[in-house]
Amino acid sequence: MSAGRVFNQDEKVKLTQLINQGLSTLNEIETLTGGLNDTVKAIAEEMEIKPSVLKRAIKTAYKSTLTQTNEDHEELVTILETVGRAI
């Protein structure tokens, strides 16, 4: 078994700060995601829309990928029509 790297004091301080900031950030993300999910669920229920559709709309808007999403959907429809599985 090889010996692990030994970090100097400055590196140890930087790593400790990074890990602590990372944990804090991930905790905040988890909290915010939970709140967003609750909001999406409530609005979806109120408007009789699937929560997954609202979440997809949010992600598409965030990534600004509506054009690509539409192109992908058109290709999907074409494939399904080709194999006789279009609804």
First to last CA, the chain: 60
How far does CA 33 lie from the centroid of its chain? Answer: 9
Whole-number Cα distances in Å, 73 to 13, 32, 68, 69: 49, 30, 8, 6
35 belongs to a structural domain: yes
The residue range of the domain holding 59 is 50-87
Residues 27 and 60 in one domain: no
> Exposed, middle or buried, 4 (CB in 10 Å: 0-12/13-18/19+)?
exposed
Q: How many domains does the chain have?
A: 2
Digit-coded pLDDT (tens) for 3-26: 789 999 999 999 999 999 999 999
1 belongs to a structural domain: no
Residues 44 and 54 in one domain: no
Residues 35 and 62 in one domain: no
Predicted pLDDT at 60: 87
Digit-coded pLDDT (tens) for 35-78: 999 999 999 999 999 999 999 999 888 888 888 888 888 898 89
